[in-house]
Structure 1
Amino acid sequence: MIPYNKPFLFVSLIAISFASKAQVVKDANYLWYNKPAQKWTDALPIGNGHIGAMVYGGVEKDFIQFNEATLWSGAPRNYNHDSAYLYLPAIRQLIKEGKQAEAEALAEEKFMGLKYPDEATYQRLYADWRNKQRKDTSLSAVGVNNHNWAELTLPNPEGWEQFGYNGIDGNFWFRTEFDLPESLAGKDLVLHLGRIRDEDFTYINGKLVGSDNGRTVHRRYTIKAADLKPGKNVLAIQVLNYNDKGGLIGSKGSLEFAFSTPQDLKTPVLNLSKTWKVKVLDTEPPVAPAYQASYQPFGNILMYYPQQLTNVKNYHRWLDIEKAVSGVRYQNGDTTFTREYIVSNPDKAMALNLTADKSAAVNFSIAFDSYQVIKSVTGTDGHTLLLNVAVKGWALKGNAYLTVKNYGGRVKLVNNTLEVSAADSATIYLTASTNFINAESVSKEPSAAALNNLAKVRAKNYAAVKQAHIADYQKFFKRFDVHFGTSAAVVKPTDERILNYTHQSDPALIALLTQYGRYLLIASSRDGGQPANLQGIWNDNLTPAWGSKYTTNINLEMNYWPSDILNLPEMNAPLWDKLAALTEAGKKTAKVHYNLPGWVLHHNTDLWNGTAPINSSNHGIWPTGSGWLTQHIWQHYLYSNDIAFLRKYFYILEESARFYDGFLVLDATSGKYISTPTNSPEHGGLVAGAQMDHQIIKSVFKSYLKAAEILKTADAALVKNVKSKVDNIFPNTIGKYGDLQEWMEDKDMRKSNHRHVSHLWDVYPGNGISWKDSAMMNAAKQSLLYRGDEGTGWSIAWKINLWARFKDGNHTLKIIDNLITTADIDDGATQRGGLYRNMFDAHPPFQIDGNFGAAAGIAEMIVQSHDGFIDILPALPDGLPNGYMRGLKVRGNLELDIFWKNGKLQKLVVKPGTNGDYQFAYNGKYKTVKLKKGKNILLTAW
């Protein structure tokens, strides 16, 4: 496989600069850079909810990596563990008796969802493959000639996938040499290798000195003096990697790639080279079992520009989020070259337009490739390439077409590469589709949609495609505007702005982050497509972090936090479609795992709508993902007052309430209904009575009862049951440290930096705790203080929203400052949350939820409407004294323009979408206003 993770080096591009800074100042919604992308998180994202692409923008060579939203691993199958419900009483009893370990063990065996392939089949196949790989260990010998082996810098914290071996599992050999000084001769030493994925066989001078298996196991082998010799020694490691990331990945904070003495394991006495030789012998291990599927990269576009680089200057790479257009411009000699990149929703295609300010100056070649192991490229005519891919071992395959329209000059097909010479300009169109129809069917002809879209778009010129694209995009984007002030920093490249950011020096970067979140949502979540996943619609790894799927114990929900408040309700459409499909899948899981009616979803799902518990019983049995997602339906109704919408999706809410009505257990000790078994997401193991569950279920019940009252069509018996239970669910409780308890038992620690703040759900995104109950609100605040202000990217974003709900604007701004820090530290290694150079959020690695959560939280500083009234500037920080937000939406179907100056409200424009009496609050004072649909009013401070 060609290693395109680091596709091109741009070392020949020297002395480049940006000439016209005035253009940047003119348009605040603008990311720009004075050099090409060196890695994926430098590249700029474009998308239309169906196709997503990452633009690198090289001069000699360009690279565009693209995805199609329905290319995943996996296949239609049953995810549910037959008869799991039979073990539910025993699991509950073990938890009740305080036997958590036993409960988790039983649940692990009998209650988790099904992997595919099954474990027994896989173990048999893997044993056969492993034995085959172990038959020949000759590459461990001293005299092996490894001069022609590839080189790899170790360790690779993110796996070798990031360094040219994307998605490759199998049998790898690594070799290096070290010189043992006379001072260490005759002594036993300890070899520290850090963590290795997955199994290693480590040799020194041809002798096996250690072996272990497990990606979390730190390799530390004692080497006898007799196995070492003064002078040159050879270290060889066979690594068998069978799934996900692979390689020698090191040990953050521990000794790695070094020898120590047995007496002092912390002090290195001899360091190994970081550069190793590597040889790949076999890349065909059996497909490893997986609970759920992973989002997949589709293909790559490789472009080569043959012009002689004489004096490259004025290089400028940009993403204009006002228009959803990315581009590159530079001057080579006396010619200026410009490239523009868009992904059009109206035309369902990506377009790349190349121009120059001189005639016959556009020359390039263009080719297709893919990280997928199963792939082929063919020329279908003299202007068009076809890329066929299939996800190895799974059901999905796809086709992408790339066609070139040249204006002047000529196009020639040579060895499946299109060569364009002496053109005045050229436009490239790309379309892609797969055989996916829905989670039950993969019978679609993969070329059908791609060919249809290609035929339509290639009949148009670029100007028409671009105009339709911008018009379609701006009808959503331009509804909203935000301004926090400007400064000299706005003329700097975006990566420099992130690196040097303070809110005092660059308040405009906070506004850009807000609008960037809106841009990313429009680009990754459009009607008829899939919802935004953990990485939106962008992914370049065959084995992406967390499968780049849908994690439903915070992350999928966070993706849609900004949709209503930031005036993008149409972007919810894929989420509604997903919820409808999950409801049907979740009914089967509710029956098989709980023997209950209604529907349930645990903490993850994928393209195929898996709803059973996954990963591990100590965090995977969390039955309130479905409940949380139903609240997006209710909240959207509150924002829109759309009765037809509520009527259409009410059944999803009702079936969720039906499940929890049966699931809750009456606790004999407290006399309250509790959730069991469950966990507080990814914290504390399998328990009874996690407070987040109780908060969500109570919210489901309350919203269901309100919706039932509005629609008058609910199940009367269910309504009666829910009414009898809603106020008898275990309540929020203040613990001994004055904090809000995360569990029924008072076992919270004062100091915990755990990334999840699950028990604060009732503060945000819920509304079960507010300043109407100051004691409970202060307890929640104390919990957040104990958690601290740092965290992974999405965790920081959640804290932005929470501090805004606490109405502490200065602390909210402090958390925003924590998020706007560069994630690219330690020579590019990802070590912390923050923002990458392209403003993607770092978990790390990249997760898009932090972008979306931050955008929502910034809006919550300016307006809140969850507590029965509309609170204006509830958490305005001192550090943002002047600004405006125009086009905010609030519950009750109102749109607001809010302006403030010197920290005080200047004016408020209210645009009603519904008649009614509305209560507004500002600075602790309330005003009730009668509003009429379509009649805007102006309010000033009161």
Structure 2
Amino acid sequence: MSSSTWMYVVVINCLTIIHADAQQPGYQLWYTKPAVKWTDALPIGNGRIGAMIYAGVEKDHIQFNEETLWTGGPRDYNHKGAASALGEIRKLLFEGKQEAAEKLATEKFMGSQSGAGDRDKWTAEMKALKGMQGNPALESYDDKEWKTIKVPSYEGWETVGLSGFDGAVWLRTTFDAPEGWIGKDLVLDLNRIRDQDFTYVNGTLVGNTDGTTPRKYTIPGKLIKKGTNTIAIQVLNYFDKGGIAGYKDTSRAIAVYPEGDQPEKGVSLVKEWKYKIQNDEPPVVSQFQASYQPFGDLYLNFKNHTASVTNYKRKLDLSTAIASTSYALNGVNYLREYFASQPNQAVVIRLTADKKGSISLDALLASPHKYSVVKKLNETTILLSLSVRGGVLKGQSQLKAVVTKGKLLVSQGKLSISNADEVVLYLTAGTNFINDKNVAGNPAIACLNAITSLQNKTYAQVKAAHVKEYQKYYNPFSISFGKSEHENLPTDERIEKFAGSSDAPFAALYVQYGRYLLISSSRPGTQPANLQGIWNDLLTPPWGSKYTTNINLEMNYWPTGILNLGAMNEPLFKKMQGLAKNGAVTAKVHYNANGWVLHHNTDLWNGTAPINASNHGIWVSGAGWLSQHLWEHYQFTQDRIFLKNEAYPLMKQAAVFFVDFLIKDPKTGWLISTPSNSPENGGLVAGPTMDHQIIRTLFKNCIAASELLGADAEFRKILQEKMTLIAPNQIGNYGQLQEWLEDKDDTTNVHRHVSHLWGVHPGNDITWDTPDMMRAARQSLIYRGDAGTGWSLAWKINFWARFKDGDHAMKMVKMLISPAEKGGGAYVNLFDAHPPFQIDGNFGGAAGIAEMLLQSHTQFVELLPALPADITEGEVKGMCARGGFELNFKWSKGVLTTLEISSKTGGVCLLRYGNKITSIATQKGEIYKLNGDLERL
């Protein structure tokens, strides 16, 4: 984005601070006990570096990430010759032969995968017991020196002690066979094992399976001995979760029992097993796309901290982006502060106490990456260096200590600090990534630049610079929903109570937490927020922690316009430029089309080809949907320079692809999108409704942009003609909005994706200007049901807000902010639960609550369009509307009382509140005050 554009945004934000900062509610997340799990820990981030703060007393753990540490490397993701299969795939779909079309697409059309290692060779070596002494399958094998591990582990052995491990492991246990079992065939029920197992009983192989097929092996009666019997299992885990997974329903035990009996009558194998790692170098597994990686861990091991503490509190202050931990121990009050500084590009940790000489600890760096090493850099600093297995990226992190009084010793890769008055730690990180084609960078540069920037600066100066830079984005907006009796409760307790109580201020806090997370994971100049923002602790994170573009990446950026975070769009728009270049190649190779295309996922390397499986991976509308964000940014800012130089060129080329791609349906004569799918539901089809809504909206926006810019009259004419021929939205036999070209919706389908309602939100293809279609869309949502994963619940908040049903929207808010153990909801740290963690629900939920208060996707700027009964009192400052307007407003007892509008660029503001409508011809920079009846004051 142009420097002038972002300077403009900053200036507007700075002006807004004047009227928003003074009355910011003091929103905090806080707890009375340390984090136990990663999803208990508190997130901090500067857009590039993210960290999770556990805040233990005796041992503090800070897990950290750097946004450009991924697997993989630059390569061609496209399937050469794919376009030659396009015609036949379309023909099969037109003939109703979906299965055949998907099979052909799997063989000829999916993107290429990265190279794989020699699995057969490695497996043969593991079967030959390479790396082992003796044969662990034998009953007589001595395993006394082996460690123990919990079995089963449904989420993988990574969660019970083998973090980040792939490879070969032997597991052994025993069971006692009652006398009545002797001579009987037994069932050994292990359910799922990841990935391959060789299972032995008393030294004899009873089963071997490769894959996630449930294991139920028969143990011949002749093998069973009275008394103790030995089970030995060699598990080969190639990639991702490993080990004996057992049953997802943990009430079902893995067990041994006689054939014909019930498992409950057998011997449970749910217990600690002995284990021995045989090999941790499995062959590299081929991948369609890369995965975001954790970087490292900082451990602070405090000395003389074994006694019980009092007054413990850990918190995250959203107004300053500073986390803290405080407690009292042996008459001394301790305080730790943590923040991720953008000006100085470091995670900063300050340790103090109210008694001199009280700070003593060891600080250690570690990493889950096998290829990592920690060493002394100088007398105040240790260094962590790493490389990603099977990839091209390398990383470096430095930890520098500044100690007041006391003693600092650097040895054996750790910082040892004794009897200090104060300690400040600076944690930096960098990689060799430059861009998606260039990895020739020096990982040390980011660390060196950060450390240099900190020279001769006091902690107070670093902290002040951090707060000033952060508040530039945070302060322009404020929100308050009155008071609640639960405001003084710890955050985990508020989550437990929220769904069944009246705690509207917690919803307001959730909005600001969403803004905090977006500022922390998507600063100008960084990568965009991925599926987990910038926070991830797993080498094989859920869905690769990539950028899923059939809703999840887009949902991350829903708050930017309405919640006054326009500057946070910059990383997304910059990434779109890279995606457009790669997507133009994919468009040619796969569709023989001009323009650019993006399928349902991308990664650091800007992969644009279809991935995974043909029944959901061939979805062509990613570029179209992302282009909506360009247009929306213009709508909110009215920045014509941005529209001309950055937005319209990308939008136009996305439209060019669809001009070439759309094809006439032989049955209806409409122009349709095929092959594609309705994410991620129903398989490969011709003519999904969502595609047509996105394409129609893209064409409409391109037409409007070209008119504003006085450009491309001939292309505009083509789009105008094509628009009228695209398959329209249709109402089906059940009164529903059809999801597909044919009327084949299943009213019992409660799929989490509600893709065909894209035209309701985030689009405006369907509004109350077409009430029949809007009612059909609402009927579709009713059929889908309220339940869903975290991000799905967030989307439904936005739908119900657009349907102007505030109470139903609030019902969805309460489901979203409910304990994650019940399914989609919120973890202890308010991270959204798919489950597992995906950050899109946080952003979608924040935007949805805003949609309940203000909508501007039609000709009107509409106040309180979906205000629920639960939010009777409130005040918002700095909320933005399309047209370049910024609004402050209050309501009491559910009724609007005051309104203030500032105009960024001038123009007519058409206001609506209930049945009241008024029009104001605004001037740039002017402020207009109105009462609750929309009368000028």
Scaled to the shorter chain, the TM-score interval is over 0.9
Aligned with 1:490: secondary structure? Answer: coil
Matched, 1:235 2:226: no
Cα distance, 1:793 vs structure 2: 0.5
- Could you say which residue in structure 2 is the equivalent of 1:916? 907
Once the 2 structures are TM-superposed, how far is the Cα of residue 596 of structure 1 from its aligned partner? 0.8
Q: Which range moved further: 357-366 or 545-554?
A: 357-366
Deviation at 1:227, TM superposition (A): 2.8
Residue of structure 2 in register with 1:134 after alignment: 127
What does 1:836-847 align with in structure 2 at a 5 Å threshold? 836-847=827-838
Displacement of 1:229: 3.1
Match of 1:72 in 2: 70
1:603 aligns with 2:600: yes
Alignment-derived partner of residue 862 in structure 2: 871
Question: 2:694 aligns to what?
Answer: 696
Aligned equivalents of 1:511, 1:879: Cα separation in 2: 12
Q: Name the amino acid aligned to 1:684.
A: G
Distance in 2 separating the partners of 1:810 and 1:145: 65
Distance of 1:416 and 1:330 partners within structure 2? 29
Kept in 2: contact 1:178–1:273 (CA 8 A): no
Instruction: Give 1:261 shift.
Output: 5.2
Residues 294 and 268 of structure 1, relative CA distance in 2, 3 Å threshold: farther
Q: Report the TM-score, using the length of structure 1 for normalisation.
A: 0.94
In the alignment, the residues of structure 1 paired with residue 43 and residue 151 of structure 2 have an alpha-carbon distance, to the nearest angstrom, of 29
C-alpha change, 1:311 and 1:288, in structure 2 (3 Å) is closer
Distance 1:676 1:50 in 2: 38
Q: C-alpha separation between the residues in 2 aligned to 1:786 and 1:260?
A: 44
Name which of 907, 912, 929 aligns with 2:920.
Answer: 929
Q: Judge conservation of contact 1:818–1:834 (CA < 8 Å) in 2.
A: yes
For the pair 1:166 / 2:163, whether they are aligned, the reply is yes
Code of the aligned partner of 2:774: M
Q: Which residue of 1 aligns with 2:450?
A: 453
Supply the AA of the counterpart residue of 1:708.
S
1:205 corresponds to which of 202, 205, 227: 202
Residue 219 (structure 1) shift: 1.7
Secondary structure in structure 2 of the residue aligned to 1:783: helix
For residues 776 and 265 of structure 2, the distance between their equivalents in structure 1, rounded to whole angstroms, comes to 47
The answer for the alignment partner of 2:6 in structure 1 is none
The yes-or-no answer on 1:722 pairing with 2:722 is no
Per-residue deviation, 1:190: 2.6
- Conserved in 2, the CA contact under 8 Å of 1:402 and 1:428? yes
The one-letter amino acid paired with 2:474 is: F
- Cα deviation, 1:93-146, whole Å, max 9, x if unaligned, reads 11111111111111111111110005xxx4xx1000000001138212222222
The more displaced of 913-922 and 581-590 is: 913-922
Tell me how far 1:930 sits from its aligned partner.
2.0
Match of 2:363 in 1: 366
1:852 maps to 2:843: yes
Native 8 Å contact 2:396 2:429 kept in 1: yes
Q: How does 1:429-508 map to 2 (within 5 A)?
A: 429-502=426-499, 504-508=501-505
Aligned pairs (5 A) from 1:503-542:
504-542=501-539
Q: How many angstroms apart in 2 are the aligned matches of 1:552 and 1:653?
A: 16
CA distance in 2, matches of 1:613, 1:265: 45
**Offset at 1:196?**
1.6
Aligned to 1:287: 284
Q: 2: CA distance between counterparts of 1:519 and 1:211?
A: 50
SS at match of 1:918: strand
Deviation at 1:26, TM superposition (A): 11
Instruction: Give me the whole-angstrom Cα distance separating, in 1, the residues matched to 2:734 and 2:216.
Output: 41
Shift of 1:568: 0.5
The residue aligned with 2:679 is 681
CA contact (8 A) 1:327 1:340 kept: yes
Tell me how far 1:401 sits from its aligned partner: 1.1
Distance change in 2, residues 1:364/1:458 (3 Å): farther
For 1:403-802, what aligned pairs fall within 5 Å after superposition?
Answer: 403-502=400-499, 504-649=501-646, 650-714=648-712, 716-802=713-799
Q: Is the 8 A contact 2:33 2:313 kept in 1?
A: yes
CA offset at residue 497 of structure 1? 1.2
Identity %: 50
User: Matched residues in 1 for 2:742 and 2:289: separation?
Assistant: 33
- One-letter identity of the residue aligned with 2:772: A
User: What's the secondary structure of 1:354's corresponding residue?
Assistant: strand
SS at match of 1:471: helix
Using the alignment, how far apart are the partners of 1:706 and 1:515 within structure 2? 33
Task: Say which SS state the counterpart of residue 901 (structure 2) adopts.
Answer: strand
Q: Deviations over 1:330-364 (max 9, x none)?
A: 11111111110010111111110111101111111
- Report the TM-score when normalising by structure 2: 0.95
The corresponding residue for 1:84 is: 82
AA paired with 1:275?
A: E
1:287-327 residue CA offsets vs partner (Å, 9 max, x unmatched): 10001001111111111111253441111111111100001
Q: Which residue pairs with 1:179 in the alignment?
A: 176
Comparing 499-508 with 677-686, greater Cα deviation is found at 499-508
Query: Relative to 1, partners in 2 of residues 1:703 and 1:26: Cα closer, same or farther, differing over 3 Å?
Result: closer
Preserved CA contact (<8 Å) 1:796 1:819? yes
Residues 772 and 477 of structure 1: CA distance in aligned 2, closer, same or farther (over 3 Å): same
Quote the residue 1:326 is aligned against: 323
- Larger deviation, residues 406-415 vs 921-930: 921-930
Alignment check: 8 A CA contact 2:890 2:896 kept? yes
Instruction: Identify the residue that residue 3 of structure 1 maps to in structure 2.
Output: none
CA contact (8 A) 1:190 1:265 kept: no
State the partner residue of 1:248.
244
- Is 1:104 matched with 2:97? no
Q: Distance in 2 between matches of 1:179 and 1:906?
A: 76
Q: Distance in 1 between matches of 2:479 and 2:616?
A: 39
Counterpart secondary structure, 1:728: coil
Answer whether contact 1:893 1:914 (CA < 8 A) is retained.
yes
Per-residue deviation at 1:267?
Answer: 5.5
CA distance change for structure 1 residues 264 and 914 in 2, over 3 Å: closer, same or farther?
farther
In structure 2, give the amino acid aligned to 1:701: F
* TM superposition shift of 1:750: 0.8
Amino acid at match of 1:35: K
2:886 maps to which of 872, 895, 900: 895
CA distance in 2, matches of 1:596, 1:395: 32
**Per-residue deviation at 1:154?**
2.4
Give 1:921 deviation, angstroms: 1.1
Deviations 1:8-28 (A, max 9, x none): xxxxxxxxxxxxxxxxx9964
Contact 1:218 1:251 in 2 (8 A): no
Check conservation: 1:309, 1:332, Cα contact below 8 A.
no
The aligned runs of 1:242-321 (5 Å cut-off) are: 242-253=238-249, 255-259=252-256, 262-263=259-260, 269-321=266-318
CA distance in 2, matches of 1:213, 1:741: 41
User: CA offset at residue 718 of structure 1?
Assistant: 2.8
Aligned length: 905
* Helix, strand or coil at the partner of 1:138: coil
CA distance in 1, matches of 2:856, 2:57: 49
* SS of alignment partner, residue 599 of structure 2: coil
Compute the displacement of 1:187 (Å): 3.1
Assess if the C-alpha contact under 8 Å between 1:258 and 1:268 holds in 2: no
Cα distance change on mapping 1:268 and 1:780 into 2, 3 Å: farther
8 A contact 1:194–1:256 mirrored in 2 = no
Match of 1:19 in 2: none
Unpaired segments ≥5 residues, structure 1? 1-24, 826-830
CA contact (8 A) 1:294 1:547 kept: yes
The aligned residue for residue 18 of structure 1 is none
Q: Distance in 2 between matches of 1:732 and 1:267?
A: 54
The answer on whether the counterparts of 1:176 and 1:273 sit within 8 Å (CA) in structure 2 is no
Unaligned 5+ runs, structure 2: 1-22
Does the Cα contact within 8 Å between 1:352 and 1:428 map onto a contact in 2? yes
Aligned partner of 1:152 among 149, 153, 159: 149
* DSSP-derived class of the 2:499 partner: coil
Q: Which piece of structure 1 moves more, 287-296 or 746-755? A: 746-755
Give the superposition deviation at 1:761.
0.4
Give 3-state SS (helix, strand or coil) of 1:237's partner: strand
CA drift of 1:155 comes to 2.3
**Displacement after TM superposition at 1:268 (Å):** 5.2
State whether residues 429 and 458 of structure 1, in contact with CA within 8 Å, keep that contact through their aligned partners in structure 2. no
